Structures are given as C-alpha cells and as structure tokens.
Amino acid sequence: MAEIQRLYGDSMSCTLEKGDRGVFDVLVGDDLVFSKHQRGRFPSNHEITDAIDARRG
C-alpha cells in the first residue's frame, strides 16, 4: 500500500479489508487485477502498479 500511495498520492486510495483463508485480491474499481487464489502466489514486485497503470491508461 505504501508503494501505491507513494506513486499515486491522493489520486488513488487503498483499502485493506480483513479476509479469511489467505485471500489476497486487488481490485481497481470493480476490476479484479490480481488474485492470489487464482494464481497461487503473491504478486511480484511492481505487478500491482503495472496492472493499475494499464487500467488507468
């Protein structure tokens, strides 16, 4: 979350929601951009910010 805040400042907000069973999903708006459950791993460096940039245009 710190990386997202550093890169995008106030133009984007991050919310951490408590889950269960090791769920780690990242959404941009309503679009799922990363799912640990689907991929079987945590994201690599910059994978989330690359996905955000792709959605933002």
- Total structural domains in the chain? 1
* pLDDT reading at 57 higher than 80: no
Compare 13 and 41 and report the one with higher pLDDT. Answer: 41
Q: What is the pLDDT of residue 56?
A: 81
For residue 23, what pLDDT band results from cuts at 50, 70 and 90? confident
Cα distances from 37 to residues 27, 29, 43, 52, in angstroms, run 14, 19, 11, 19
For the chain, give the mean pLDDT: 86
Burial 24-38, CB ≥16 within 10 A → b, else e: eebebeeeebbeeee
The DSSP result for 17-52, as a single string, is ---STT--EEEETTEEEEEHHHHTSPPPTTHHHHHH
Instruction: Judge whether 10 lies within some domain.
Output: no
Task: Answer whether residue 48 is part of any domain.
Answer: yes
- 4 in a structural domain: no
Q: Is the pLDDT of residue 22 over 90?
A: no
Question: Is residue 46 situated within a structural domain?
Answer: yes
Which of 39, 52, 55, 38 is CA-nearest to residue 4? 52
pLDDT tens digits along 37-46: 899 999 988 8
**Any domain includes 42:** yes
Range of the domain at 39: 15-56
